[in-house]
Structures are given as C-alpha cells and as structure tokens.
Amino acid sequence: MKRLIGVVFLVIAAGVVALLASGFGRNPATVRDPLVGHPAPDFTLAAYDGTTVSLRALQGRPVVVNFWASWCADCKVEHRALLQAWRADRSHVVFLGIPYQDSRSGAAAFLRRYGGGWTQLRDPSQDTAINFGVWGVPETYFIDRHGVIRAKVTGPVTAATLQTDLREIAG
C-alpha cells in the first residue's frame, strides 16, 4: 500500500513539474493576446485636461492606447519612442495615455519631466485596464480605424515596433 501511494505521489509530482516547466523560458511579451483581432473594449474616460474621450467616438481613426505609470522604469525607457512617434504621426493617429495605478500628481510630474502632448486619461477604478486585460505596465495597444485591436506590445515599445504597428493600423 505504501508503495502504491509513493508511485501515485511521484506520478502527480512529475505531472506538476512538467506543467510548470512548460511555461519556463517563455517570454510573456511574445504570448499572443486574446484581444488581438477583436474589437477593442469601449471606454469613455475623463482626460486630465477636463475633456471626455470615448473610444467609440474615435472610430474611423487609428488609435494607440498606452497604459503606463510614473513609477515604472520601463515606461521611462519607452517614452522617448512614443514621443517621437506622436510628433511624427499625430495628424493621422490618435495617441492616448492611461496612467495605471498612479496618482495624478505622479503622472503630471512624469510628463513635465519627460514631455508628451498626447491626451492622458484618468481610469480611477481601473475598469478600462481590467477590460483590456492589463497585468502590468507598460502595455500598448494598436487599434485600427474600425476599432479592432491589431497588435499589443507588453513591455517597453521600441521605435521599430511603433513604426511597424503604426503602419499596420494606419493602412
């Protein structure tokens, strides 16, 4: 009986180890997001400048939604690339920033220090982040003119990735 229990334990332990090991070595940034290829979750949020922004109202224009935070080191890394892309493409692509789990003063201080002129939205209940499936920052979504998410970048977005994904959503 003890031997049978030992064998069952070993089989279960081996299964658990195999299951865990199958996920090691995978970069979570390369896992395809289930929202890609589907309509982006709609939202209506207040901007820091007092206006209201609805994703549905932006349909017809490509949109970049970047979830970020002032306390996030990778957000500082990607900010220069976002700033350059916004300056180059703002006439035909809408850029939206959504600070994630951050204070308004922290976000404002970050933007004063590093620059940025695109619309920043408040998501105080984090409902928009939850609907997009955000699990950390930075995360950037590329939404085409039909409201469909065409790409998502988890982690700092690079200038090259921005160029590629902006081309895809801008047509």
| Alpha helices (runs of H) in 45-103, residue ranges in sequence order | 73-89
Instruction: Indicate left, alpha or beta for 116 from its phi (over 0: left) and psi (-120 to 50: alpha).
Output: left
Please tell me the distance from the alpha carbon of residue 148 to that of residue 126, in angstroms, as a whole number: 21
Q: What is the pLDDT of residues 116-151, one digit of tens each?
A: 899 999 999 999 999 999 999 999 999 999 999 999
- All structural domains of the chain, each given as residue ranges with its CATH number in brackets, are 35-170 (3.40.30.10)
pTM (two decimals): 0.82
Please state, rounded to an integer, the average pLDDT across all residues of the chain. Answer: 88
